[in-house]
């Protein structure tokens, strides 16, 4: 049992990383009163950006390019949500579709229909001296790619920023009562725009993580619904950074569960494990919904 | 021009630039644009055969799923799970057809279609229940259910329903009795197209002329006024609309199995449920309009298939065009799902 526990924990943290990054970004967006369903498209944009960056400029180039692409997709959403005041849900869905089509087309154009011969530089684990050799938790917590450490360090930073700074207060006020925030001198649209672009940067980074630190390649529709799971994680985490971190880890564990169950010898069709994270998300949403309160003005296009 | 007008114009221009730039990139990387366009037009309407067997056959699932989305949108329900409901309908219709092997057509065919319809409604019912009972945003739940449905189909065609030789991940062909009749031997166009058009006319009539249709329109247009002024049970109306929407998408899947593929396999839906959003929005969620936008998108997709075959242009390019169309529409018309109601507080 303890032989399979270490790989299980390692897989939990690994799968949780992109979800945590994307959900933390979306958390900031939603606390400003905007919901970006196009997060899936942001992830795809980031993943494709990482592929381009990695083939030309190595791992760090991949991350920079992923962030730039994520911000670009988010900027398109911001134009629609804030300046045109279009319906955020329709816009977000369309932007996910747009990103799927654009990245799919460009991938086939640039790398051929197969893309099989593709080998890009990847980001290996960074061992923390002394700690990485700890039993059971060593590899899970202290031998991960650098981006994982960044993702988890962002949690207290975002918490501090959101609850202990003026800018964080302005963000929360914008989401709860834009009219009051405006009267208090907060530039509501500017705050929301910054939040959406920040969400784009983290979403792009999450997409980049999928390519550079996990899959090692790109495929059409690579994000496979992780953007939507991240949005669900924000709800499960009750719109709070620490809650979001816990929810992301729970979903990492749900996805990693297949390693543990297979090790115990539970014989189930593999499709069951593929469906498990989505099923658990649904069950968890039913469990917390109604007992949590979203930002008061979430997704109301009129007050931008 | 006001600043909003200016930004709308700017956005439409920007979307045209995105589509244009993609085409330019395609031509720059060695694709023959002229040949691609010829293939696109020829594949969609170059002949009666192309129009009937290409465009109208492809339009059938788009009309049905477009209708599904339009009914939901009308009631203020954002059902983007038409793809999953389609898959459930296709799976259950295939299973019914295979299970009733040997029974006469007048029994098997309706049974398969109705079973698919019920399966779609049941799948939508999960999200409808989550929305009504637990206030779970249906955008999230229906999309998650799409992924679950895809896994389910993947399991079914490799497990219980796999064809007898166990080589290919697909089911056996359904018996001829379960297949929708075609309009002659020279065309692939089948009775399902008529069913789709008939469903749209029926839905239009119900929404336009019945009390239930009136409640649907009012509940979708202004749920607050509907419950306060008209004493309409909004939750009940939206739940019903959600189930009917799922039923339409499920029927779409059943029609696809009984009329086109005759078997179930993993990629039976190339994203019909997502294209359906564009179909419904372009028709302004009007059931009659869905017939025409469905045919238009059917032509686009049939043409794109020919374009990939003849000119090697990836057909996923259609997704770019569809997304650009939806965005251009929301920019020009300001279609609303959320924010249409006055503040209740």
ipTM of the complex: 0.83
Share of chain A above pLDDT 90, in %: 36
Q: What is the structure's pLDDT at A118?
A: 64
B279 contact partners, CB below 8 Å, separation of at least 6 = B62, B63, B65, B66, B69, B70, B290, B293, B294, B297
Neighbours of A113 (CB within 10 A): 11
Query: Is B342 a domain residue?
Result: no
CA distance A262 to chain B (A): 17
Tell me if A100 and B281 make a contact (CB, 8 A cut-off).
no
Query: Is B93 a domain residue?
Result: yes
How far from B54 is each of B197, B204, B306, B318, CA to CA, in Å? 17, 26, 9, 16
Question: What residue ranges do the domains of chain A occupy?
Answer: 2-113+166-295
Q: What is the pLDDT averaged over residues A223-237?
A: 87
Number of domains chain B contains? 1
CA distance A189 to chain B (A): 14
Structural domain for B200, as ranges:
3-333
Q: What is the pLDDT averaged over residues A45-50?
A: 94
CA distance A24 to chain B (A): 17
Q: What is the structure's pLDDT at B343?
A: 31
Burial of A9: CB neighbours in 10 Å, binned 0-12, 13-18, 19+ = buried
Q: Which residue of B has its CA nearest to A274?
A: B151
Q: What is the structure's pLDDT at A260?
A: 74
Q: What is the structure's pLDDT at B7?
A: 62
- Cβ of A135 under 8 Å from any chain B Cβ? no
Tell me if A228 and B143 make a contact (CB, 8 A cut-off).
yes
Contact residues, B window 264-293, toward A, CB-based 8 Å cutoff: 274, 277, 281
Contact residues, B window 108-127, toward A, CB-based 8 Å cutoff: 126
Residues in chain B: 345
Q: Which residue of B has its CA nearest to A300?
A: B339
Residues A253-285: tens digit of each pLDDT: 888 887 777 667 667 788 888 888 888 888 888
- Cβ of B47 under 8 Å from any chain A Cβ? no
Q: Is the dihedral of CA B168, B169, B175, B176 positive or negative?
A: negative
Q: What is the structure's pLDDT at A77?
A: 94
Q: What is the structure's pLDDT at A253?
A: 87
Q: Which residues of chain B have pLDDT under 70?
A: 1-8, 10-11, 29, 333-345
Tell me if A87 and B148 make a contact (CB, 8 A cut-off).
no
What is the CATH classification number for the domain harbouring B311? Answer: 1.10.3470
A241-264 and A146-164 helices cross at what angle (nearest 10)? 150
pLDDT band (50, 70, 90) for residue A116: very low
- Cβ of B134 under 8 Å from any chain A Cβ? yes
């Amino acid at each position: 049992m303890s032989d399979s526990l270490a790989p299980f924990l390692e897989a939990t943290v690994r799968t949780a990383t992109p979800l945590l990054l994307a959900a933390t970004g979306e958390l900031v967006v939603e606390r400003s009163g905007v919901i970006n369903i196009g997060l899936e498209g942001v992830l795809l944009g980031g993943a494709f950006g990482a592929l381009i960056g990695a083939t030309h400029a190595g791992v760090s180039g991949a991350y920079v390019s992923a962030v730039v692409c994520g911000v670009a997709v988010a900027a398109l959403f911001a134009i629609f949500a804030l300046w045109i005041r279009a319906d955020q849900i329709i816009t977000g869905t369309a932007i996910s579709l747009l990103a799927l089509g654009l990245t799919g087309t460009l991938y086939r154009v640039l790398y051929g229909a197969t893309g099989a011969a593709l080998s890009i530089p990847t980001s290996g684990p960074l061992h923390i001296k002394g700690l990485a050799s700890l039993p059971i938790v060593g590899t899970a917590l202290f031998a991960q790619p650098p981006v994982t450490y960044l993702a988890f360090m962002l949690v207290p930073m975002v918490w501090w920023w959101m609850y202990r700074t003026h800018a964080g207060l302005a963000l929360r006020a914008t989401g709860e009562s834009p009219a009051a925030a405006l009267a208090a001198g907060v530039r509501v649209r500017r705050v929301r725009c910054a939040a959406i672009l920040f969400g784009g940067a983290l979403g792009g980074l999450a997409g980049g993580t999928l390519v550079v630190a996990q899959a090692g390649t790109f495929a059409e529709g690579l994000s496979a619904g992780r953007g939507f799971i991240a949005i669900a994680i924000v709800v499960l985490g009750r719109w709070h950074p620490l809650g979001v971190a816990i929810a992301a880890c729970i979903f990492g564990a749900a996805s990693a569960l297949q390693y543990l169950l297979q090790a115990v010898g539970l014989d189930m069709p593999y499709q069951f494990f593929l469906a498990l994270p989505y099923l658990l998300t649904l069950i968890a949403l039913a469990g917390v919904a109604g007992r949590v309160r979203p930002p008061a003005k979430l997704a109301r296009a009129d007050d931008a | 021009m006001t600043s909003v007008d200016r930004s709308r114009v700017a956005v439409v221009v920007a979307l045209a630039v995105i589509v244009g730039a993609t085409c330019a990139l395609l031509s720059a990387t060695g694709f023959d644009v002229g040949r691609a366009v010829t293939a696109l037009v020829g594949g969609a309407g170059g002949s009666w055969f192309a129009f009937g067997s290409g465009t109208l056959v492809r339009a059938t699932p788009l009309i049905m799923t477009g209708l599904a989305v339009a009914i939901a949108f009308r009631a203020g329900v954002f059902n983007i799970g038409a793809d999953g409901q389609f898959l459930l309908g296709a799976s259950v219709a295939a299973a019914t057809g295979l299970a009733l092997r040997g029974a006469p057509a007048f029994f098997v065919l309706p049974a398969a279609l109705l079973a698919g319809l019920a399966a779609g409604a049941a799948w939508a019912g999960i999200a409808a229940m989550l929305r009504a009972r637990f206030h779970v945003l249906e955008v999230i739940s229906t999309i998650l259910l799409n992924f679950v449905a895809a896994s389910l189909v993947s399991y079914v065609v490799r497990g219980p329903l796999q064809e007898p030789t166990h080589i290919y991940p697909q089911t056996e062909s359904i018996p001829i009795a379960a297949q929708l009749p075609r309009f002659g031997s020279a065309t692939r166009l089948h009775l399902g197209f008529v069913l789709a058009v008939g469903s749209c006319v029926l839905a239009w009539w119900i929404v336009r002329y019945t009390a239930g249709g009136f409640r649907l329109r009012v509940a979708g247009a202004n749920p607050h006024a509907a419950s306060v002024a008209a004493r309409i049970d909004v939750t009940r109306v939206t739940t019903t609309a959600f189930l009917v929407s799922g039923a339409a998408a499920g029927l779409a899947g059943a029609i696809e199995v009984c009329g086109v593929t005759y078997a179930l396999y993993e990629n039976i839906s190339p994203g019909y449920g997502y294209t359906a959003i564009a179909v419904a929005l372009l028709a302004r969620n009007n059931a009659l309009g869905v017939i025409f936008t469905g045919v238009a998108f059917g032509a686009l997709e049939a043409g794109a298939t020919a374009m990939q075959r003849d000119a090697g242009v990836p057909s996923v390019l259609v997704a770019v065009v569809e997304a650009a169309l939806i965005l251009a529409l929301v920019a020009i018309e300001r279609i609303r799902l959320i924010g249409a109601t006055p503040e209740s507080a």
